[in-house]
Amino acid sequence: MKAVITVVGCDSIGIIAGISAECARYGVNISEITQSVLAQYFVMIMIVDIARLTCDFSDFVDAMEKHGRERSLEIHVMHENIFNSMHEI
Amino acid sequence: MLNVGAIRETVNMIKEENLDIRTVTMGISLYDCQSDDTKRLADKIYDKITRSAGRLTEVTRTLEKRYGIPIINSRVSVTPISYMAGGLHSTDDCVLIAKTLDRAADALGINFIGGYSAMVQKGEIDSAKLLIDSIPEALAGTGKVCSSVNVASTKAGINMDAVRRMGEVIKETSYLTRESASIGCAKLVVFANVPEDNPFMAGAFHGTGEAERVINVGVSGPGVVAAAIRRAGECDLTAVAETIKKTAFKITRVGQLIATEAAEMLGVPFGIVDLSLAPTPAVGDSVAHILEEIGLERCGAHGTTAALAMLNDAVKKGGVMASSHVGGLSGAFIPVSEDAGMIDAAVCGALTIEKLEAMTAVCSVGLDMIAIPGDTPAEVISGIIADEMAIGVVNSKTTAVRLIPAYGKTVGDELSFGGLLGTAPVMEVNTYSPSVFVKRGGRIPAPIQSLKN
């Protein structure tokens, strides 16, 4: 079971480190990262494995959003099924 | 297999283009609540609704978090109350039931409950007559109850006695809710060929052939369609239609996902996904702006009906493959007050009621959320209803009328409801009298199209 984490915000030191630490804390394993910096904007998409998540998915979403708010990053976490439903027949 | 392009597209649709699930509506049968004691009937209805939908908002919140997509409304529709009112003796009894529905909606934390309804396309049973008489008071005395009356069908023709009565009911409702922008009329719809599994308000009710409980979902996404057409750039209309189809497919897939998961979590059968493009007054969430994106200077310009016909058709073609069960209204909505582009078009004079009437021949609903002068005579409103019903009956489609006679206001004034119901400029109405026609009463016979057997 996978989820997608998207991150957008001003580039700064330690964005990936912070998000990775949050993932590790909740038992979320990072499978893939696509990341770029456009002008000063940091843009990242992570695909993560949530099979061993240690809390409710909703709580993980809240924790990541809180982490984003504290660092002026826009972080969204979405279960993979929405992408699969939309883009696969 | 997830890919970056697909992820970006989905996130962009939700975060930038206002894609959302407009409503998750639980239909609930009230047949087992029958009683000839009003108080007992009310108690049984309250218990059945609150027991059945007790977890509805909790489930929609969970799904909202899981998929990162806003679910704007959780709602309930019930068996038409006229079928439950056989043992009631007065309009006061009916109003008590309306207040019970309102209380149940409050307890559930939902914003609307539909089903204060009657089906009178061929004639009125006594309880339907009672319920219709009670509508103005019921809507004035409640906040969340929605009412609908089906006065025509392709099979039965048009019940002109009911059409005449509904003109009066709309006027009375406007008067009784005059202190709050005649908002009662925004919760009252007159239908032809009403669908019995519609999840959208104000017309939702739980039809007679439905299961005990059911989950129906209405999707949205005008902003997503408009953005897709904008991205398509200079292309011919075949390409525009293809773009709309592909977009509608994706939108509907999300509806299907939410509907099946909500149904499973609630232990209730999945009913239908309603493919309707439902606008809101928010910028970037307008059906009128889709039509303008296709190439009209303003919604209402000549060409609007053709563009809307194409849009409506492409939405259905894209959506129908994306869902296992499609139902409800399924098409593009054109509610004036709930659509920023429609409001602008009406204010600048590009969009008139006559043009809106033509547009209803090719889209999913009808004359919707239109403010008219408060002094419009009841028989003129009945005339408007009759015209709209005729379009539905002859074309074997749903049509509806949700007009708001703006008490004390006239053309150029504005009615503001707030929230999803938006703001309505008071539009000009042709007041040449249809009085004699309306007062003839009786039934307009079912058209030859009804004889399909």
Residue A73: pLDDT band (50, 70, 90) is very high
Domain with residue A75: its CATH number is 3.30.70.260
Which pLDDT does position B399 carry in this prediction?
97
What per-residue confidence (pLDDT) applies to B248?
95
Which residue is closest to B252 within chain A, CA to CA?
A86
The tens digit of pLDDT for each residue in A19-60 reads 999 999 999 999 999 999 988 899 999 999 999 999 999 999
Q: Give the residue-averaged pLDDT of B235-255.
A: 96
Q: Judge whether residue B274 has pLDDT over 90.
A: yes
Give yes or no for residue B282 having a pLDDT over 80: yes
Distance from A47 to chain B by nearest Cα, in Å?
Answer: 8
pLDDT at B331: 87
Mean pLDDT of B38-57: 98
The pLDDT tens digits of the residues spanning B317-372 come to 999 999 999 999 998 999 999 999 999 999 999 999 999 999 999 998 899 999 99
Helix or strand run (H / E) with residue A8: strand A2-10
- Tell me the C-alpha distance between B377 and B170, whole Å: 11
What confidence tens digit (pLDDT) does each residue in B374-383 have?
Answer: 999 999 999 9
Nearest CA in chain A to B249: A86
Q: How much is the pLDDT for A40?
A: 86
Res. B1: pLDDT tops 80: no
Task: Give the pLDDT confidence score for residue B106 in this predicted structure.
Answer: 98
Set of chain B residues whose Cβ sits within 8 Å of the Cβ of A87? 3, 6, 9-10, 250
For tokens 């007159």, name the residue: B190
Who among A45, A62, A86 is closest to B250 (CB)?
Answer: A86
Domain B218-374+394-450 has CATH 3.30.1330.10: no
Which pLDDT score, from 0 to 100, does residue A89 have? 84
Q: What is the pLDDT of residues A62-72, one digit of tens each?
A: 999 999 999 99
Q: What is the 3-state secondary structure (H, E, C) of B372-426?
A: EECCCCHHHHHHHHHHHHHHHHHCCCCEEEEEEEECCCCCCCEEECCHHHCEEEE
Question: Which two structure tokens, joined as six digits, stand for B402?
Answer: 């949700």
| Distance between CA atoms of residues B427 and B411, nearest Å | 6
Q: How far is CA B145 from CA B17, B97, B137, in A?
A: 30, 10, 11
The full DSSP string for B57-70 is HHHHHHHHHHHT--
Residue-by-residue DSSP string for B179-194:
GGTTGGGGGEEEEES-
Query: What is the CB neighbour count within 10 angstroms for residue B269?
Result: 15
- For residue B233, name the pLDDT band (cuts at 50, 70, 90): very high
What is the predicted pLDDT for the residue at B3? 86
Q: Which domain holds residue A47?
A: 2-87
pTM of the shown model? 0.95
CA–CA separation, B198 and B271 (whole Å): 10
pLDDT at B283 over 90: no
For A64, the closest chain B residue by CA position comes to B65
Q: What DSSP assignment string belongs to B7-57?
A: HHHHHHHHHTS---EEEEEEEE--GGG--SSHHHHHHHHHHHHHHHSTTHH
| Alpha-carbon dihedral sign for residues B361, B365, B369, B375 | positive
Question: Which residues of B fall within a CB distance of 8 Å from A34?
Answer: 4
- What's the total number of domains in chain A? 1
Domains in chain B: boundaries = 218-374+394-450
Question: B113-119 and B145-153: which strand pairing?
Answer: parallel
Q: What is the mean pLDDT of chain B?
A: 96
Query: Model confidence at B92, in pLDDT bands (50, 70, 90)?
Result: very high
Contact B2 A47 (CB under 8 A): yes
pLDDT digits (tens, 9 = 90+) for B115-150: 999 999 999 999 999 999 999 999 999 999 999 999
